[in-house]
A = this chain, B = another copy of it.
Amino acid sequence: MTGKQFSSVWLREPRKATSPGLSREEIVNAAVALLDEEGLAGLSMRKLGAKLQAGATSLYWHVSHKDELLELVYDQVWGEMSVPEPEEAGWREAASALARSMRIVMLRHPWSADLLGRMPALGPNALQIADRLRRIFISAGFQGIDVEYAGSALTAYIYGMTTPEVAWNTVMGERQYDADEMRAQVARVVKDFPGMLERINLDAYDDPQAIRETAFDFGLTSVLDGLERRLTT
C-alpha cells in the first residue's frame, strides 16, 4: 500500500561519532538496560529519552524510528554470543557451542526472543555469527546451497526451542505458582485427552530448569545427527 522502502540502520552511514551530544553507543547501552529491566513492552522512546536525560524526541536525530533502535540492540545481542572457530573445534563441537551460547543469551535477554527471526540481521555482530555458522557446515562437508539449508535448520531449532522457554520464564517470573495447583488446572482443561493426563505428572513443574536443558540437548543431538546423515547419502 504505502510503498515503504526496504531499509536498515546498517544500510546507511551512522551519525558522525563526534564528541558532543548522545552517541549511538550510549543510546544502545541505555536501551539494553531498559529492556533488561522492563522487557520489550517497557521500552518506549519517552522512557529511553528520560534515562538519557534528554528530551524524548531527541533520539529521532540518531535513529530514524524505533525499529532502527531495535536493530541496534538486536545486534548487540548477537555480540554476546560466542562461537569457536569451526576449523579448529570441529563442526559438531562448534555447532553445539553456538546452540548453547545462543540459548544462554536469549535467556539472559528475554526480549531478544521477540526480535530473533523477525528482524533483518545485518549488523556486524550478526554477520560474524552468520559467517561462523556458514563455516561450520562448510567444514562439515556440505556444499552449495546445502550449507545454507543446514544453517537454517540449526538456528530454527535453537530459537524455536528457546522462545517458549523464555516465554515460560517470563510468565513464571511474575508470580511463583504452586506446582500442584498448576497441575490441577491443566488437568482440568486436558480432561478429554486421557493420554495427556499421564504426561502431566511425568514432567515436573517443579524443576523445569534441568528438564528444559535436557530437552534442548536431546533435540540438538537429533538435529545434528540428522544433518550429518545428509552428508553420507
Asked if B160 contacts A159 (CB within 8 A), the reply is yes
Asked if B193 contacts A149 (CB within 8 A), the reply is no
Bound together, the chains give a CA A127 to CA B146 distance in angstroms of: 35
Q: With A134-B196, A138-B195 as known contacts, state yes or no: A189 contacts B153, CB within 8 Å.
A: no
Interface residues of A in 171-215 (CB under 8 A from B): 171, 174-175, 177, 182, 185-186, 188-190, 192-193, 195-196, 199, 202-203, 211, 214-215
Residue A155, interface by CB 8 Å: yes
Q: With A161-B160, A167-B119 as known contacts, state yes or no: A222 contacts B215, CB within 8 Å.
A: no
Asked if B2 contacts A174 (CB within 8 A), the reply is yes
Residue A221, interface by CB 8 Å: yes
Question: Can you give 29 A-B contacts (C-beta < 8 A)?
Answer: A1-B174, A2-B174, A5-B175, A6-B171, A6-B175, A117-B160, A117-B167, A122-B186, A124-B192, A128-B193, A131-B196, A135-B195, A146-B218, A149-B214, A149-B219, A150-B218, A150-B222, A152-B161, A152-B215, A153-B215, A156-B161, A157-B157, A157-B223, A158-B160, A159-B160, A226-B226, A226-B227, A226-B229, A229-B229
Size category of the A interface is 35 or more
Asked if A127 contacts B167 (CB within 8 A), the reply is no
Q: With A160-B157, A195-B135 as known contacts, state yes or no: A202 contacts B152, CB within 8 Å.
A: no
- Interface residue ranges, A against B (CB under 8 Å): 1-6, 10-11, 113-114, 117-120, 122, 124, 127-128, 130-131, 134-135, 138, 144-150, 152-153, 155-161, 163-164, 167, 171, 174-175, 177, 182, 185-186, 188-190, 192-193, 195-196, 199, 202-203, 211, 214-215, 218-219, 221-227, 229-230
Q: State the number of copies, please.
A: 2
Bound together, the chains give a CA A222 to CA B223 distance in angstroms of: 6
Q: Which single member of B2, B156, B215 contacts A219 (CB below 8 Å)?
A: B156
Q: With A6-B177, A160-B159 as known contacts, state yes or no: A167 contacts B222, CB within 8 Å.
A: no
